[in-house]
Every structure is written in structure tokens, then in C-alpha cells.
Chains A and B, each alone.
Chain A
Amino acid sequence: MGMRKSAPGGRARERGGGTAIRPHLPTSPWLFLAPGLLVVGGFSLYPFVSTVAHSFTDARTLTVGQFTGGANYQEMLHDPMFWTGLRNSALYVLGVVPPLVVLPLLLALLVRRSVPGIAFFRAAFYLPVVASVVVVGLIWVWLLDDRGLINALLGVLGFGRAGFLSDPWLLLLSAMAVTVWKGLGYYMIIYLAALTQVPRELHEACAVDGAGAVRRFLTVTVPAVRSTMVLVAALSAVNAFKVFSEVYLMAGATGGPGGEDTTLVMLVQQAGTGLGGRVGYASALSVVVFVLTLGLMLLVLRANRGEDR
């Protein structure tokens, strides 16, 4: 930093003082950019290239590996765990996106009007976003325990106990519920920002015409925040597809009984880490994760562009 401060800048000043032709030396922008480009290049772009390259080899953690063509990808197609992981990650998107598009919008409408104490409620609803996913996971593991609070309440209401953390399907559903619970506040704030752009008069005019609350919601609010809904759908879809921590914590490292709840990213983590890690195979799985999220991500960019206009 000291170098950057004195060397290029000093000379630029001498020149700049005279004719004001060049605002800076040609090298100084690159000095400003160097740390960022180095980190991003070295720890995002290079690993990406190396992931693609490794996916065509049989590399392991401790051995370099030989070129094996598409063998990893072929193996994947015959690996039942891959299909389980793909199924669960896809189900996660389907299960999590609709509630995360609708519920935070309703929440945003609820906290939109500034009634006394509303700042407190907004902050409180954001709390699950602030907490680490590990803490959130452990809180719900305890709540959903066989002898935990929720089963106790179910018992009081006369229902039987549910094996939230032992039945593979209930486990996946529980993990989805936790993801939704943790994400509500985050998307609520995004909707809140969008709602400030909706003109009040529109609502009032509609109310004068005698439209009920539900009707006004559907005819005024929803069209006005439509592009935000697309954005939220895309963002939550991308995040849901890459789910790891919730399932890892609630179902265990191997993804529940018989690995029935494993997700794609859990497979990457299982295959690629440790001393015997199959880096080649894990890389091929990573490439699949990348390609499938990219499709969802392009949707995000589109939604963003729609927002700007």
C-alpha cells in the first residue's frame, strides 16, 4: 500500500498540475485492481477451470490422476446416489421456492405501514437471517426431536408423534421448512423495498371502487411487484438447489437413513474431501452443480435487468 501511495501517484501529480491531460499513470488503475483481481482470479476463476479439467481425470487428494475422458460422467449416470442427490436438490427447489415467493410478500405487507413498534417487529422477523445456518439447524433439531417441543405440542393436541428427523421424507420436508423459516426475513426486506415504489393512490382508488383486500392484493400489489417476485423466485431457487447445511445438520453427514436425503452438494463434499477424496469424480459432480445452477442464475440476471428498466 505504501508503494502505491508514493510511487505512481507522485509523478501523476507533477504532470497533472500542468496540463491536465492524464488523470493518472497507466499503471495505477491496475495497482488499485491488483488485490481484487488476484483473489478473484486465484480463488474463483482458476478453481473453476481446474474443476472442469479435473472432472476428466481420476485424480485423488494425494495423487495427480490420469486423463480418463468422460468416465466420471458415465459413472455418475450409473451411480444411484447421484440420482438421489439430484432428485432431492430438485425437490428442494420445488418445495422451497413457492413459499419463499409468497410468504415474505405477505410479511412485507404486514410490516409495511409504520405503526408504533414496527421497527422492532421488522428487526425481529429478520433475526433468523442473521443467525448462522448451523445455529438455526440445531435449534430446529431440538424443536423437532422425538421428545422435543413440537412433538409435545402435537401430543397435547391429540396427534401422534411424528418422526420429523427419522422418516426420510419428513426429514426432507422439515429441512425445507427450516430453509423457508430462515429465508423469510431476507426476502421480506427485498419486497419492502419494492413496495415503496408502489403508488398509494392506486390502492386508494381501488378501495374507493369497493374492491376488497384480496382483490386489491391481486390487482394492484402483485402486478406492481411482479419483477421482484421473479427475482426472489430465481434467487431462492439458486440457493435451494445448492442446499447443504440444513440437510447435513438435520440428517447427518451421510444424509439420513440409507443416504435417502443426500443432496448434490453433500455428494460433492462427501466425494471430494478427506485423504482418500475422489477429486476427479467430485469435480464432475461440481460441474453438474454449476451447469444446473447457471440456468437458474441466468434467470436472476434477467430479473435484475427487468428491475432496472
Chain B
Amino acid sequence: MTGPGRRGRRRRKGPLVVRYLLLLVVLALTVGPFLWQLSTSLKGPGEDIYRYPPSLVPEHPTLANYAAVGRVIPVWDFALNSVKVAVANVLTNCAGAALAGYALARLRFRGRRCAVVVFVMAMLVPVESIMIAQFMTMRQLQLNDTLLGVVLPGCIGAMNVLLMRNAFAALPYEVEEAAYVDGAHAWQRFVRIALPSVKGTLAVVAVFAFMGAWDDFLWPLIVLSDQSKFTLTVGLNYLHGTFANDQRLVAAGSVIAVLPLIVLFACLQRYFFRGVEEGAVKG
């Protein structure tokens, strides 16, 4: 970790070698733990997972643990629940945030500042400090223990609304003005002109909405109690609590939970990074 300080040595080749060595060390530290979990999940019952010295490559790789974890908990149902929650979260956030963001950025009306303040205030309230009240609300709506109850509180994030507002506000006025003179009304201008121009930000919202819903733990843990409704994260916690002694099973379960996201990340990498950079630059 003392690395980057050394990076600027005068000679040409030396620093590059040092740089790659450091990169490899950090790589081992960040990816290594994932590989160890993957390796554990592939080791059969005949192989000692506590062995000295530890071996990263399984002697006889097997998928048996993946089948076994499906027998002790309904892990594929959990995965399906997670998919449902994540997809719903993407759709509602994209639609709701785009609509509201467009109105805040492009339509002039009385109370606009007020509406902005409402979203900013909502963004400032930490979920952790209102989750008990949210849980009570869900009970009143009889939505506790349903996937709808998992999705609803975060289905249009205030932060996403403000992100979309910034994206719409950055578009040049002229194009929309032309459409307006041609007689296009607000909805048409939104759908035909503004929305196609903010696809990038919309993709960022979608990617983070998916990841947020897929990875969320605390809220589903509170609102769900019936095992058949569990999402993967809550299901994994249950697996860990009940079958903690079988590390191979826990490892297989966590690989199932993390693999889809790694694939998503590998395919849509630029949106992950763009979102954070834009957020940081524009604030």
C-alpha cells in the first residue's frame, strides 16, 4: 500500500515494473478472496478445505455443492425473487426519475423550487433512521412479507430524480424550442426529444438501481419473514446461520449470488464508472 509513492523513479523501465508489481499485489488482495470462495465451492467432500498448505485449485472440481445448496434451501427461488425485485426497481426508477427529473429541469411552473426541496430533503433522510416506520406502513398496507413491499420504498429514489434533472438541464434548449414552435406538447417533447438525449444517464440509473436492489440486505431482512419470499441476500444470511458448518455450501450460495452481478458489471462497466464520475463532478 506504500506503493504509489515509489512510482516516480527517474529511470524508465524500473517504475513500470514496480507499477505492475503493485497492481498485481492489489489485484491479489481484491480478487483473491472471491477466488478463494469460488475454489471452496468447487471442492468435493473428499477434499480437506482446511488443509495445510491451502490449495487454491481444487483437486477434483465438482458442481455437487451447487446442487446440494439447492436441496437445503430453495436458492433458485431466492434468485428468482431477487431478479423480480431488481427488474422492478430498474423499471420504476427509470420511469419515475425521468418523468420527475424532466419536469424539474424543463417545465416552468409554480412550486418547482418547492418540489426540488422535497426531493433534496428525502435524499437527506437516511433509510436506517426510518425503516421501522416504513415497516409499520407496510404492515398497514398489508404489504409486509411481499416482494412489492421490498420494492416500494426505494422504487423512485430521490437521488435518481435529481440525477435525471441534472441530465435534462444540461441539454441545449434550442432543439426543444424548435419542437415547441412546431407545436409539440410537453409529453411529446419529453418522449421524442429529451429522453433519447439522456440515454447515458438513464443507463447509469438503471445499472445502479439493479445493483442496489440485488445487493440490498437490511430492508428485505426487516420486511420479509416467510422463507418463500426471501431474496438471495436474506436467503444467504439464513443459509449462513443454519448451515454455517458446511463452508462448501455457503461458498456455493454466495457464488450464485455474486456471479450475475459480476457478469453485469463486466458487460456494462463503463456505466458503473461513468455514474460515479458524473456524480462526483456534477455533485
Contact = CB atoms under 8 A, between A and B. Distances in A.
Contact of B217 (A143, A245, A305): A245
Most chain A beta-carbon contacts within 10 A, residue among B130, B221, B250? B130
Interface in B95-148: 95-97, 99-100, 102-104, 107-110, 112, 115, 118-119, 121-122, 124-126, 128-137, 139
A32 B108 CA distance: 12
Contact of B266 (A107, A123, A134): A123
Contacts of A194: 280
Given A36-B100, A287-B129, 20 more contacts: A12-B186, A23-B107, A30-B109, A32-B190, A33-B100, A35-B95, A39-B155, A51-B130, A106-B3, A127-B265, A134-B236, A142-B251, A147-B50, A156-B53, A189-B276, A214-B5, A268-B128, A286-B130, A290-B125, A290-B129
Nearest to A186: B276
Q: Is the interface of A mostly helix, strand, loop or mixed?
A: helix
B31 interface: yes
Contacts of A190: 276-277, 280
Contacts of A8: 185-187
A222 interface: no
Contacts, number: 326
A161 interface: no
Contacts of B170: none
B209 interface: no
Contact of B100 (A37, A145, A297): A37
B214 interface: yes
A132 B257 contact: yes
Interface residues of B, number: 109
Most chain A beta-carbon contacts within 10 A, residue among B185, B250, B273? B185
A39 B26 contact: no
Interface string B18-55: 01101100110111011011001000000000101110
A110 B16 CA distance: 11
A28 B189 CA distance: 13
Interface stretch (A13-21, A68-76, A77-85): A13-21
Given A12-B185, A17-B183, A106-B1, A139 B37 contact: yes
